[in-house]
Amino acid sequence: MKTAVFYDLENIALTIRNGGFEPELIALRQKIEASDLVGQITLQRAYMRSTNGAIAHIQPVLEKHGIELVPVMPVCEESRKKANLVDFKMGVDVIATIAKKRSIGTVAIASGDNDFGFLCQQIKEMNKKLMVISRFNTTGDAMLKLCDDWIDLNERPLPSKFIMTAIETRIPPDNPNEDFYSALGAFLHALESDLLLRRCMTAFGLPFPMFETILRNRQMNIPRYRELGFPSLTAFMEALLSDTNFEPKFGHVKYSGQKRPLSQIRLLESVVRRPHEYTREKLLKYYDFLAELENIDEMLQYINFMRRIGMLKGSTLCYKRTFRATIRKHLRSVMSAAGVILDENALAEVEKNL
């Protein structure tokens, strides 16, 4: 994919003195080329006020690396020191360039100036991929929301609060009436599909309290996890995430990309795998919980029981009669432990569907 890079030298603040400009420029170029969005870089332009005293020093360096310098002339004395002239010139030039060179698929903007929010929107409306290169503490919210990928010029780790803000900015809330498992699955899929967020979650992750806050802010209908035997929401989420591409690691939720894709069935399996003490109170609450779920087979509890005792191994199937007998035996032991009399007619109704 052909790429055009536009540098706002008034904003990204590369070192000018003591020979630091060229090494920082090379490092910046390497970061840009490392993005999955970037292919062949066919055009590079840098913008700076013509009155900036550093032009004479940096122009030879830019030319050496194939970057065209565009000095922006002030239109009058009053505007001589206003950097927004650079923003205006650069914005007009970007749109004109990508409209003319239609082979360009990715546009990289090296600036975090929020004045470029409208420019970023125009780039996206022209069906171009957008990369933003800036420092996290000077990046406008509009640019962060619209870009397909973002590169931080800072060398230090990103603050968790920034990653949390990026997630809430880039992934709109789901339907609050959706069941928890579907909502969580959709959210994790969106998080994994977003190149920027996936990179942040791989490198830094989010502390569990912040991850839980995001779920609550999205108005997810979190199950009554204590009634399922989990001491905390963190313990419950650890069980649910165990079979996804996200994992708890050193108190953070991080993207690993090495596990099975998320499925609603495996989420429930993560719950029913945990051992339960079958008191009457817990049993009734457990079945109340299952009754509230839609499109999930309640018999997963008994299927997992048979896996534990060796009746089912992997994809091996057993005869229906053996299946029914095992369930009947299991139901009797569970009901007896809970002090509940087994209704033979109700069991017969269950067996009709097996």
Task: Report the relative pairing of strands 129-134 and 104-110 from DSSP bridges.
Answer: parallel
251 part of a folded domain: yes
> For residue 199, how many other CB atoms are within 10 A of its CB?
17
Residues 115 and 243 in one domain: no
CA–CA distance from 24 to each of 41, 53, 61, 154 (Å)? 18, 19, 11, 11
144 part of a folded domain: yes
pLDDT at residue 285, rounded to an integer: 56
- Report the share of the chain in percent with pLDDT over 70: 67
Residues 151 and 190 in one domain: no
Residues 234 and 343 in one domain: no
pLDDT at residue 349, rounded to an integer: 63
196 part of a folded domain: yes
Residues 181 and 88 in one domain: no
Taking only the tens place, the pLDDT of each residue in 312-327 is 555 444 445 555 666 6
pLDDT at 76 over 70: no
Residues 176 and 47 in one domain: no
Residues 58 and 132 in one domain: yes
pTM of the predicted model as reported, rounded to 2 decimal places = 0.61
pLDDT at 329 over 80: no
Residues 148 and 190 in one domain: no
Instruction: Out of 17-26, 34-43, 150-159, give the one with best mean pLDDT.
Output: 34-43
334 part of a folded domain: yes
CA–CA distance from 50 to each of 7, 73, 193, 299, 321 (Å)? 15, 5, 42, 74, 87
Long-range contacts of 229-235 (CB under 8 A, 24+ apart): 229/274, 229/275, 229/276, 229/277, 229/282, 230/274, 234/208
pLDDT at residue 298, rounded to an integer: 44
Domain span holding position 255: 166-272
pLDDT at 17 over 70: no
Per-residue pLDDT band for 293 (boundaries 50, 70, 90) equals: very low
pLDDT at residue 259, rounded to an integer: 56
Residues 185 and 124 in one domain: no
- CATH of residue 147's domain is 3.40.50.1010
Per-residue pLDDT band for 292 (boundaries 50, 70, 90) equals: low
Spatial distance between the Cα atoms of 179 and 93, rounded to a whole number of angstroms? 48
Nearest to 187 by CA among 154, 157, 136, 222: 222
Number of domains in the chain: 3
Residues 129 and 173 in one domain: no
Spatial distance between the Cα atoms of 269 and 164, rounded to a whole number of angstroms? 29
Residues 15 and 121 in one domain: yes
Q: What is the mean pLDDT of residues 100-127?
A: 89
* Amino acid letter, 169: T
Domain boundary among 120, 155, 190: 155
